[in-house]
Amino acid sequence: MKRKEPTPSEDPIYEASSSFTSPHVDEYEGGTETPKENECQVFLSFRGKDTGKGFTDYLYTSLVDAGVRVFRDDNELRVGTEIGSELLCTIMQSKISIPIISKNYAFSKWCLRELAQVLKCKRSKGQIVLPIFYKVEPSQLRHLTGRWRDAINAHNENSDEMVVKEWEEALKEVGSMLGWEPEKIDNGHEGALVKIVVRKVMSELKGLFLLNVPAQLVGIDDHVERIMGNIDGEFTNTTVIGIYGMGGIGKTTLAKVLYNKLSGHFEYRSFVADIRETSRRKGIECIQKQLISDILRSQDEVSNVDEGIGVIESQFTSKKILVLLDDVDDNTHLNALIGDGRWFKARSIIIITTSDKRILDEARTIHMYQLNELPLDQSLMLFSRHAFGEDSPPSDYELISRDIVSTTGGLPLALVVIGSLVCGKTKEVWKETLDKLKNVPHRKVQEKLRISYDALDYDEQQIFLDIACFFIGSSKKTPTYMWDSCGFFPRKGIDILSQMSLIKVDKDGNLMMHDQLRDLGREIVRLENQKKPQKRSRLWIQEAVDVLDSNKGTNKIEALRLDKYGLGRRYTGEQFKKMTNLRFLQVRGANFTGDFQNLLPQLRWLQWEYCPSGFAMDNFLPKNLVVLELSWSEISEDWGGWGLLKMATSLKVLNLSHCLSLRRTPDLSAFKSLEILILAYCWNLEKIHPSIGDINTLVSLNVTRCSRLEELPAGIGRMEELRELIIDEIAIQEIPISRGCLMKLETLRASYCELAQLPETMGSLVSLTQLDLSHSRIGELPESMEFLVSLTLLDLSYLGIEELPESMGSLKSLCQLNLSHSGLKNYPNPWAHLCR
């Protein structure tokens, strides 16, 4: 796959600091499920001399252009008599195999070996096989007549009889399967067949591109059927579907289910989530960029709205696409993304969700669908699932359950949140909750949701408000350090918020929140003082800059995000003088000047991105700082701020990623409590100060793509607490692993390294679960690998190794082994089932 250069995040506060981040996938905000990067989806088996430069090449290119990962085996270059581990892995991991049976196919032993293995996978794993009979008669394969019999007879002369018998059966079996014959499709125009095959492949793979929706949906199928009933038979033009309704009613979920149902019919798809919030933070250009990237599968830069419109209008007209635009609240956004609908090829479908029907009226949407509240029976079912884990309430709770459900107005989000609130509680709590709900006007959604917020302890409320204002989409790992330092007991708090359905933690550990709950949290903060922002606990928009510019800061302010509003500004110590309780500060591209002595005593988190090379603060002593992020900054090892920052002896997280002027790290010995150090993409970094070896608390070290870094300090190999070491794409030739050390290391990623060998001390890594050595120069594995008893994933793809140590049979926990494109000639059969 083509590797992309990293680009600065538009809003890094919404990203996780850990290397293991990904698009969020959860009940509230569904991302797209995509297959693993190294996993092949389609395997092409063909005779190169017959079709390699013609039909097969056209099919391969078309599939790749459609976003499918395809392996085509150039079997004319194969040597030997057995299918090697690389090819076996590729066939086994593929979801679909396409044998292109041409006139000389059966004369190739390699083609027949592939075909036999493909059909084995069909029988044992349910692999989909889509044969193409290229200018041959399938009946000749079924009966092995003519040249097919000649080929079998030729193989009988110099091959094992049982093997040739297997090939015979494979030819007969594939000849009996339904397949395509190019000359019988569109008068033999092969381009038409290629389009048919691509559509079929995309349809079969559609499960890999589905958006995530809740596992148990209530009442959604009826809505989908009604919408599909309106659009069936009207695919001749671009179809625009608008779904509108009040917040929390389930518009996004319905739209995602509809998107999933339609996705198999489209080669080009895009799901753009939460446009209202994203456009406010990053501008509509960011949305245009995502749409262009999804459809054109390229990273086109969009510097302004007009440029984005030009790209969409000129490049999309030839593509039939499916687009879901979620939570649109401004008609100008639709004008910038879809125009009048004529920018797209006929039969494209655009789905829009909005809370404002006027958006759809002005856009002249063809099909508008209003999503109303759930009826009582469906409401009771959804509520019961969250309150009792059943589809209906117990008999002694039925009356009060119906009473509570009737107060929620059939709003799915309220049913989920209130059901989670009373789950496992006493009848007295149920009655109190019912009384509170009865006092809330019917359509006051936020006030209903606030009942759950009010039931939280103070610490849990602070975590909820921080997530709503700053941390949606962020890894829970980094803010947990701040909350822990503030005494908020974050592990307990996050667990309770999750149980009450006020937040979701996705599979990657990212914090997610429904937009209605996000708006509730931000409204709670706004209502702390409607007229005087400086009297609120958290500020994150233009009001934050206004408070600083007018020098109105107060001790009420705990968190301040200036990000893009602070670009190029200079802030003085005087402006922060009264903010004695500020614990979170995020700025971008700004600078600080003046005396900061005795200021910001409670500061726990400083995110200072695009920090300039000149340091102008005096007497800045961040003694309580636990998170420091200086990514994308111009700082070097001689930066003036290092001396003062060494006062941050409680620092837990130091993020210096993308600091391109950094050639050496500073002395790190002052950071005795550091747990996470991120140096990723510091392309000019040549040396890590040896003091890192004195940090006994380090849990994670990430030096990805520090391409000039040729060695790691020896002290790293002695760390007792290190659990994650990520050294992808650096120039080191050895990993310093001391015997009996790194016993807590769980993840070691060393792909694209200059590593030539692993130390015998690898056996010390008894806690290692994931080991990625792909694309390195390693030629053999040490025998001590047998002691990696916790290993579950081992990636040896694109290595020059020829054999696995026999001792690796002791790795009973290993469940995923990637050997694709390795030099391995063969491996024991017991390993075959591990190949992924």
Q: How far is residue 647's CA from residue 644's CA, in Å, rounded to a whole number?
A: 6
Are 171 and 148 a contacting pair, CB within 8 Å?
yes
- Catalytic, out of 5, 76, 82, 114: 114
| Residues 534, 556 contacting (CB under 8 angstroms) | yes
Helix, strand, or coil (residue 588):
strand
Cα distance between residue 770 and residue 747, in whole Å = 5
Rounded Cα distance, 257 and 372, in Å: 17
How far from the centroid of its chain's Cα atoms is residue 656's Cα? 22
CA distance 783 to 44: 36
Alpha-carbon span 804 to 782, nearest angstrom? 9
Residue 563 to residue 551: CA distance in whole angstroms: 18
Distances (CA, A) of 214 to 27, 257, 542, 653: 5, 10, 36, 34
Q: Are the C-beta atoms of residues 746 and 724 closer than 8 Å to each other? A: yes
Q: Can you tell me the distance from the alpha carbon of 664 to that of 682, in angstroms, rounded to the nearest whole number?
A: 10
310: left (phi over 0), alpha (psi -120 to 50) or beta: alpha
595 forms beta bridges with 618
Helices 490-499 and 477-485, axial angle in degrees (round to 10): 120
Q: Establish whether 285 is a catalytic residue.
A: no
| Closest CA relative to residue 418, chosen from 390, 392, 457, 379 | 379
The C-alpha atoms of residue 636 and residue 633 are separated, in whole angstroms, by 9
Per DSSP, 160 falls in state -
For residue 724, list its beta bridge partners.
Answer: 700, 747
For residues 786 and 782, give the distance between their C-alpha atoms in angstroms, rounded to a whole number.
9
Going by their DSSP bridges, the two strands 570-572 and 591-595 should be labelled as parallel
Task: Specify the DSSP element, H or E, that contains 46.
Answer: strand 42-46
Element spanning 376, H or E: helix 376-387
Give the burial class of 266: count Cβ atoms within 10 A of its Cβ; 0-12 exposed, 13-18 middle, 19 or more buried: buried
Residues in the chain: 836
Q: Are strands 511-512 and 504-505 parallel, antiparallel or unpaired?
A: antiparallel
Phi-psi region of 741 (alpha: psi -120 to 50; beta: other; left: phi over 0): beta
CA 192 to the chain's CA centroid: 35
Side-chain-side CA neighbours of residue 116 (13 Å): 17
Answer for the pair 527, 536: CB distance below 8 angstroms, yes or no.
no
- Token look-up 């933690």 returns 505
Query: Which residues are marked as active site?
Result: 114
